[in-house]
Amino acid sequence: MSKMKIIFVTPYVSQTAGGLFTSVRLLAQKLSIKHEVEVFALEDDRGKSDFHEWQPIVPRLFKIFPQTFGYGFSVPLVRALARAQPDILHVHGIRMWPATAARIVAQKKKIPLVISPRGQLNEWPMERNRLRKKLMHFLFEDTNIRSTTFIHATCEAEKQYIYNLGFNQPVEIIPNGVSCSEFDTFDSSSVFSKWPILKNKKVLLFLSNVHPRKGLDLLAPAWEKLRKKHSGWILAIAGTGESQYYEKVKNLYRDGANDNQVVFLGDVRGNEKIALYRLCELFILPTHSENFGNVIAEAMAACKPVITTKGTPWSCLADLKSGWWIDYDTQAIQQALKTAMCLSDEERIEMGQRGRQYVEKHLSWDILADNLASMYEKYI
């Protein structure tokens, strides 16, 4: 495989980017071992505060002007891309200026263009703010996507959503990965110091954005019906969201919180996040829709059984007997929880170990980076 010059173009490289911060960063770092990789992005409020996590890559940031509609317009970004002359341009994330900027330069310079929609063409996100998104697609986003050499999807379901919208470019599937070694060591002291309520409890962990899509409204009645029969368990909800909705969700769990069987942990990152994965007995993501579900892969890497819905691409959980892949409704959530919490500790450990073995074999970032590089070469 010959060495290539690859430029990743993405809206943000700080933790403001959410899941993209992890997936784009780790993919870029692994590609940089064998190839020349640069990362171009927009400036945001966090500035360079997260740059150290990108080493050895030093992302290049570009000023936004004017600050209008959150679109991220930046002329300096276009100029820098035009000067760079890469072998391939790879855009991560859509409906912001970086995707359009990359398309303009790719067309002018005849550079192969790849776009990773990162779930933004799936049913749920397409239905939110529908009129605004239809206008954006009419003005520029459809042109961006139809100009690609190929489209990168992270699962078969995302590929189908793309084709259902009428795009006919080649779609290649490469899932997100996970670094299993990050979950091999952890320090529980900071977690128990910060949240002593978790001590001596069996923890059911939810870790994601607190958002209407994530199914916490369906989990609430399921948990309420089960928790009193499982007094040794506690539901830990880690994540933040829009303040009004966050308070609404907290109110749904008020009785459980009063009985010390629900705790809201807020934003959790770094070592504390890893420790929570390792300390929990069971992980749950009752989401309506998920493009990939990085947190599911992380929980599996931490050797934990997972409960999630058919809104995610994780049917393998049932096949592997490492978790539950269920319908998106309260009854299904309640039944899966009841079954999982009634298992012995040994049975849950065995389920978690099967999940870890799957992640190690199929979702190593080294393997996925090589697969992506092979895709680039196929189309260059």
**Rounded to an integer, what distance in angstroms lies between the CA atom of residue 13 and that of residue 20?**
8
Residues 325-344 have pLDDT tens digits of 999 999 999 999 999 999 99
Q: How confident is the model at residue 1 (pLDDT cuts 50, 70, 90)?
A: low
**Rounded to an integer, what distance in angstroms lies between the CA atom of residue 9 and that of residue 74?**
13
Domain boundaries of the chain, sorted by first residue = 5-177+364-379, 180-362
220's CB contacts (< 8 A; 6+ apart) are 249, 252, 253
Residues 136-163 have pLDDT tens digits of 898 899 999 999 999 999 999 999 999 9
Mean pLDDT of the chain: 94
**Rounded to an integer, what distance in angstroms lies between the CA atom of residue 21 and that of residue 325?**
26
367's CB contacts (< 8 A; 6+ apart) are 177
Check for a shared fold between 5-177+364-379 and 180-362. yes
**Per-residue model confidence (pLDDT) at position 2:** 86
pLDDT exceeding 70 applies to what percent of the chain? 100
Residues 242-278 have pLDDT tens digits of 999 999 999 999 999 999 999 999 999 889 999 999 9
The DSSP letter of residue 15 is G
In the structure, how many helices (H) and strands (E) does the chain have?
17, 13
* Residue whose C-alpha is closest to residue 346's, from 276, 250, 281: 281
The CATH classification of domain 180-362, taken from the options 3.60.110.10, 3.40.50.300, 3.40.50.2000, 3.90.1300.10: 3.40.50.2000
Average pLDDT over residues 189-199: 94
* Fold topology of 5-177+364-379: Rossmann fold (3.40.50)
Omega before 66 within 30 of 0, i.e. cis = yes
CB 81 within 8 Å of CB 102: yes
